[in-house]
Amino acid sequence: MRMIWLALAIWGAIHPMYYFIQWFQANGWDIMAMVDAWHANAASSGLVWDLTIAAVTLTIWIVVEVVQTRAWIRLLAIPATFCIGVSCGLPLYLYFRSAPKT
pLDDT digit string, tens, across residues 20-71: 999 999 999 999 999 999 999 999 999 999 999 999 999 999 999 999 999 9
With a CB cutoff of 8 Å and minimum separation 6, the contacts of 100 are none
In a domain, 74, yes or no: yes
In a domain, 102, yes or no: no
In a domain, 80, yes or no: yes
With cut-offs at 50, 70 and 90, classify the pLDDT of residue 101: confident
Q: What's the number of domains the chain is made of?
A: 1
Q: Which domain holds residue 80?
A: 2-97
The pLDDT, as a whole number, for residue 10 is 98
In a domain, 69, yes or no: yes
